[in-house]
A and B are shown apart, each in its own frame.
Chain A
Amino acid sequence: GNSVTQMEGPVTLSEEAFLTINCTYTATGYPSLFWYVQYPGEGLQLLLKATKADDKGSNKGFEATYRKETTSFHLEKGSVQVSDSAVYFCALSDIGTASKLTFGTGTRLQVTL
Chain B
Amino acid sequence: NAGVTQTPKFRILKIGQSMTLQCAQDMNHNYMYWYRQDPGMGLKLIYYSVGAGITDKGEVPNGYNVSRSTTEDFPLRLELAAPSQTSVYFCASSRDRGRDTEAFFGQGTRLTVV
Contact = CB atoms under 8 A, between A and B. Distances in A.
A73 interface: no
A43 B90 contact: yes
Contact of A51 (B48, B100, B106): B100
Contacts of B102: 46, 49
Interface SS of chain A: helix, strand, loop or mixed? loop
Contacts of B53: none
Contacts of B114: none
Contacts of A100: 33, 45, 48, 58
Interface stretch (B12-20, B36-44, B62-70): B36-44
Contacts of B101: 93, 99
Given A99-B31, A100-B33, A31 B99 contact: yes
Nearest to A98: B97
Contacts of A102: 42
Interface of A: 4, 31-32, 36, 41-46, 49, 51, 89, 91, 93-95, 97-106
Q: Which 5 A-B pairs have the closest CB atoms?
A: A103-B42, A43-B105, A32-B100, A51-B100, A44-B105
